């Protein structure tokens, strides 16, 4: 069975569990607490809170079911789900650093992540150096004796640049640092960083994994040792847990994740190739295209390419915004990973410096017919 086919098995509901009366979806355990038959059982559970069902700010069966499914897909020993991607990211980071430590982070990581590292954590005496993630020399040159964390996001959020996961993991191992990667773009279907030596993987579940624009969520995955540390400290103490209702919705969406990612990959490449040929486009940033400078690296560490990419345009911002407004299928909006295709226009560099400052236009290719999407783009540009 191919790896992609196996993913369908991994996301399927478990064989009938008699306790659930044959329900084909995992039931929502709307419980804050779980009671015990005997004090001996209670004492036993309290020793290992996270391995038993005691209290839902710890281990709720509906959330646990999703955690087990996600861990299987990501080839992780253990997973913990959080209230948002940012709750997962900040908890994972806090679990590995303390006052006086140093972090090296890819400079185009997700904005709030950069703010947390570069600004918020500096209040607690943790310093971060941002590097061009595509340059191994920069990673090497930036580590210090007190570097405790290398933070990756591959591909990056706006420009879709890659980092060499295996090389970064090797560098970190050599200096006793931990590696964390934001794997939201690739999903567990297209990239499994733990198999390449990365220590912790974080995802915003809000995007492809959720897939229906109806939930906010996040997950951290890794070895049982690192995850137990997060479980008993950041997860329990900061309390940014996922609710059982959200876990139930995500579990339903997860079953179609491999299927959705196949569709996104195909449609995304078709639309990216087409847009690359347009006169108003200077460059397309999509690691799945052979024109991407790190396409070969992408093929080595990913088994597929998702459908969020950007293009650079020297057209005036107002014109690009008018184009975006005229699009019928593409909606204007943040986030991504659901049914609808999306577009946002962002001026690069200084807003004051004249009309021809390049713009980066982010495109999310959803589930609509790629033919319709391509026609939509062409018609809208003709009208502009
Ligand atoms: C959206 C996003 C996040 C944050 O996730 P939330 O669920 O919104 O907190 C983190 N990383 C990446 C790459 C994202 O796209």
Complete domains list, the chain, with CATH: 3-254 (3.40.640.10), 257-383 (3.90.1150.10)
203 C-alpha to ligand 1 centroid (Å) = 7
Per the DSSP assignment, residues forming a β-bridge with 106 are: 131
Residue in the block written with tokens 């941002």: 130
User: What's the pLDDT score for residue 22?
Assistant: 81
User: What's the pLDDT score for residue 18?
Assistant: 61
Share of the chain above pLDDT 70, in %: 96
> Ligand 1, closest atom to CA 86?
9
User: What's the pLDDT score for residue 354?
Assistant: 53
Q: Which of 250, 217, 229, 242 is nearest to 57 (CA)?
A: 242
User: What's the pLDDT score for residue 14?
Assistant: 66
Atom 9, ligand 1: residue with shortest CA distance: 85
User: What's the pLDDT score for residue 45?
Assistant: 96
Per the DSSP assignment, residues forming a β-bridge with 331 are: 342
DSSP-assigned letter for residue 52: S
104, 150 Cβ separation under 8 angstroms: yes
86 C-alpha to ligand 1 centroid (Å) = 6
Which residues have C-beta atoms less than 6 Å from ligand 1?
Answer: 84-86, 110, 153, 157, 182, 184, 204, 206-207, 216, 218
76 C-alpha to ligand 1 centroid (Å) = 20
Give the mutation target among 87, 110, 242 for probing the ligand 1 site: most ligand atoms within 8 A of CB.
110
Q: Does the model's pTM come out above 0.75?
A: yes
Mean pLDDT on 242-259: 97
- Convert the pLDDT of each residue in 63-100 to its tens digit: 999 999 999 999 999 999 999 999 999 999 999 999 99
373: left (phi over 0), alpha (psi -120 to 50) or beta: alpha
User: What's the pLDDT score for residue 17?
Assistant: 61
> Ligand 1, closest atom to CA 88?
9
345 C-alpha to ligand 1 centroid (Å) = 18
Cα distance between residue 380 and residue 319, in whole Å: 11
What is the rounded end-to-end Cα distance, in angstroms, of the chain? 49
- Convert the pLDDT of each residue in 33-51 to its tens digit: 999 999 999 999 999 999 9
∠284-289-291 over CA atoms, to 5°? 70
Cα distance between residue 384 and residue 375, in whole Å: 14
155 C-alpha to ligand 1 centroid (Å) = 13
Q: Is the pLDDT of residue 368 over 70?
A: yes
User: What's the pLDDT score for residue 199?
Assistant: 98
Split at pLDDT 50, 70, 90, the class of 105 is very high
250, 208 Cβ separation under 8 angstroms: no
Q: How far is CA 73 from CA 42, 114, 185, 278, in A?
A: 32, 27, 15, 38
341 C-alpha to ligand 1 centroid (Å) = 17
Q: At what angle do helices 257-276 and 370-383 cross, to 10 degrees?
A: 30
Position with higher pLDDT, 14 vs 60: 60
85 C-alpha to ligand 1 centroid (Å) = 5
Strands (E), 299-358: 308-313, 331-332, 342-347
Cα distance between residue 120 and residue 364, in whole Å: 30
- Convert the pLDDT of each residue in 277-299 to its tens digit: 999 999 999 999 999 999 999 99
193, 165 Cβ separation under 8 angstroms: yes
Split at pLDDT 50, 70, 90, the class of 129 is very high
Tell how strand 308-313 and strand 331-332 pair up: unpaired
Split at pLDDT 50, 70, 90, the class of 16 is low
Q: Three-state DSSP class for 330?
A: coil
Q: Tokens in use for 351?
A: 């807003």
Give the mutation target among 154, 158, 207 for probing the ligand 1 site: most ligand atoms within 8 A of CB.
207
Omega within 30 of 0 (cis) for the link into 362? no
Split at pLDDT 50, 70, 90, the class of 7 is confident
Atom 8, ligand 1: residue with shortest CA distance: 85
Position with higher pLDDT, 20 vs 359: 359
Compute the mean pLDDT over every residue in the chain, rounded to the nearest whole number.
95
- Convert the pLDDT of each residue in 143-190 to its tens digit: 999 999 999 999 998 999 999 999 999 999 999 999 999 999 999 999
Q: Is the pLDDT of residue 224 over 80?
A: yes
47 C-alpha to ligand 1 centroid (Å) = 34
């Amino acid at each position: 069975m191919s790896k992609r086919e196996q993913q369908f098995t991994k996301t399927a509901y478990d064989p009938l569990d008699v306790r659930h009366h044959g329900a084909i979806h995992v039931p929502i355990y709307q419980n804050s607490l779980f009671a015990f038959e005997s004090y001996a059982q209670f004492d036993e559970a309290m020793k290992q809170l996270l391995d038993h069902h005691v209290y839902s700010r710890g281990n709720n069966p509906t959330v646990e079911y999703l955690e087990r499914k996600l861990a299987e897909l990501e080839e992780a020993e253990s997973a913990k789900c959080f209230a948002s991607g940012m709750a997962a990211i900040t908890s994972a980071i806090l679990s590995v650093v303390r006052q006086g430590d140093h972090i090296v982070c890819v400079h185009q990581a997700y904005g709030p992540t950069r703010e947390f590292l570069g600004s918020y954590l500096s209040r607690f005496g943790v310093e971060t150096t941002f590097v061009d993630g595509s340059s191994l020399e920069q990673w090497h040159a930036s580590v210090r004796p007190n570097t405790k964390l290398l933070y990756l996001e591959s591909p990056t959020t706006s420009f879709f640049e890659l980092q060499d996961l295996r090389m970064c993991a090797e560098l970190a191992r050599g200096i006793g640092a931990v590696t964390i990667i934001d794997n939201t773009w690739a999903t567990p279907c297209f990239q499994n960083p733990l198999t390449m030596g990365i220590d912790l993987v974080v995802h915003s579940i809000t995007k492809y994994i959720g897939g229906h624009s109806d939930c906010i969520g996040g997950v951290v995955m890794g070895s049982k040792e690192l995850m137990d540390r997060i479980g008993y400290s950041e997860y329990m103490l900061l309390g940014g847990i996922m609710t059982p209702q959200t876990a139930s919705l995500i579990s339903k969406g997860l079953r179609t994740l491999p299927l959705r990612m196949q569709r996104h990959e195909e449609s995304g490449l078709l639309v990216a190739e087409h847009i690359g040929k347009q006169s108003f486009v200077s460059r397309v940033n999509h690691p799945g295209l052979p024109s991407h400078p790190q396409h070969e690296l992408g093929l080595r560490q990913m088994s597929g390419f998702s459908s969020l990419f950007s293009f650079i345009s020297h057209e005036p911002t107002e014109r690009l915004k008018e184009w975006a407004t005229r699009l019928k299928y593409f909606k204007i909006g943040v986030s991504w990973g659901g049914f609808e295709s999306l577009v946002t226009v962002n001026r690069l560099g200084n807003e004051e410096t004249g009309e021809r400052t390049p713009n980066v236009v982010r495109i999310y290719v959803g589930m609509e017919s790629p033919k319709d999407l391509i026609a939509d783009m062409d018609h809208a540009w003709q009208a502009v």
